Structure formats: C-alpha cells, structure tokens
C-alpha cells in the first residue's frame, strides 16, 4: 500500500512537513499508561506558561485552516483539541493503548498524530487530497457524511474518507480498536521547525512501539522529492 500527499495539497501548503510509520503486531494488550503519562506531563508543564492557542505549532495549523476557509476556533486540529482538553480537564481520554500513547506524544510535541487501522483502509493508495464531494466518511457515532468538494481529507482507493477537514477529525471506520493488528501512524506539522518535530515524533513512536509490542515497523519522513511511503503487503 502507498501513502502520500497529493500535489495540490503540497502546492497549497508549502510549509507542510509530514511523516508516516507502519507497525504490524500491535494487537497484544499492554499497559502504556506510565509512558503516556510522561508525555502528557510534558505538555501540561508547557501549558502552565501559555495556552495552546499561543503555541507556534497550533498557530500554524490555525493559519492553514483559515486558508482552507475554515474558522480556526470552530474547527481545530486534533492536537489543539487534545491540548485544550488537557488544559481544561487535566487528563486525556483513555481509548486504546496505542492511541493513548500517540495522543500523549501528540500533546507533548503539539502536532497532530493520526493512527489508522490499516486493515480498514482499501488500497493500493491512501492519499491526502482535496475531496471531490462523492467520498464517504463514517463518523464515530456511525453517521455517514460526505466531505465538501475541495475539503482536504485522507481518501483511499474505494473513495472512503478517513478524516474530515484534514487534521480536525478522524473516521470511526478506520479507528483503532481491540481488533487492530496493523496501523499507519501519520504526523504532520506546519510550523517553522516542523521537519525536525516530525522526525522526532516518528522516532519516539517507533521506540515506544518497540518497547511495548513485538511489532515490525517502518517509517519515513515525506518530502516533495520523496513523497510516497510504501508499507504493508
């Protein structure tokens, strides 16, 4: 399977830095709580000095959302939403050991980290691209939606959208659960220094997966010159 950002997306958002990681063998139940707590604590410490809306990582995504015609305080990037929840509630939700870990890493670095169940994606291509308007998106509650034409989303070869408004909200269809054995982790940044953040996030996720699961992993930082990540069978 292949993952990439379509050329219109890269052209419209030249500040984009992105990376992807594939992991197979993450189905075993493990306790990632202590490690997730360590990353969450880093984010909480940063939030004592400023709100998430002042972070350059968050401001960069707000500018990107504004360029997409979205009101940034109505549609937030996933990392901003998690940071906001952490600031208001003092904790993040517990969903799944890997998702909890990646959410904690997301707030620690203040950049979106998406985790998708590979076996719920129809290949051979998953692409971040503007929607045509005929894609199908399944919300976590089961409702079916259709991204508006031009909306940036993750689209597979069957025309299924795995996100709404790019990094705002993932799909319930490819959400990680007890059935999940293989995942694709995608991290994206828009701020100055984003390439370094993306590389650090990938390295951190890969190290944590290796520490908790007997998993096979592969990862790559994506650039215009090396735009595709080939993974899986």
- Please indicate, yes or no, whether the overall pTM of this predicted structure exceeds 0.95: yes
pLDDT of 148 above 80: yes
Domains of the chain plus CATH, in order, are: 2-225 (3.50.40.10)
Residue 148 is classified by DSSP as P
Tens of pLDDT along 160-179?
A: 999 999 999 999 999 999 99
pLDDT of 233 above 80: no
Tens of pLDDT along 193-208?
A: 999 999 999 999 999 9
The pLDDT, as a whole number, for residue 72 is 86
Radius of gyration, alpha carbons of the chain: 16
Tens of pLDDT along 40-97?
A: 999 999 999 999 999 999 999 999 999 999 998 899 999 999 999 999 999 999 999 9
Q: Transcribe 60-115 into DSSP letters.
A: HHHHHHHHTT--TTTS--HHHHHHHHHHHHSS-----HHHHHHHHHHHHHTS-EEE
């Amino acid at each position: 399977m292949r993952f990439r950002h379509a050329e219109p997306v890269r052209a419209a958002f030249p500040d984009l830095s992105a990376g992807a990681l594939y992991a197979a063998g993450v189905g075993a139940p493990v306790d990632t709580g202590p490690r997730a707590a360590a990353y969450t604590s880093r984010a909480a410490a940063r939030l004592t000095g400023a709100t998430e809306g002042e972070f350059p990582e968050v401001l960069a995504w707000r500018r990107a959302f504004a360029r997409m015609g979205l009101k940034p305080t109505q549609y937030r990037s996933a990392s901003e939403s998690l940071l906001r929840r952490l600031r208001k509630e003092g904790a993040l939700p517990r969903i799944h050991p890997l998702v909890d870990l990646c959410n904690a890493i997301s707030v620690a670095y203040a950049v979106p980290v998406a985790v998708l169940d590979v076996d719920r994606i129809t290949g051979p291509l998953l692409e971040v691209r503007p929607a045509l308007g005929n894609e199908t998106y399944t919300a976590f509650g089961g409702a079916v939606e259709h991204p508006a034409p031009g909306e940036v989303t993750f689209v597979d070869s069957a025309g299924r959208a795995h996100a709404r408004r790019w990094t705002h909200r993932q799909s319930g269809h490819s959400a990680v659960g007890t059935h999940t054995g293989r995942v694709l982790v995608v991290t994206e940044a828009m701020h100055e220094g984003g390439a370094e953040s993306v590389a650090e996030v990938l390295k951190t996720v890969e190290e944590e997966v290796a520490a908790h699961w007997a998993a096979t992993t592969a990862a790559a930082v994506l650039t215009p010159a090396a735009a595709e990540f080939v993974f899986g069978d």
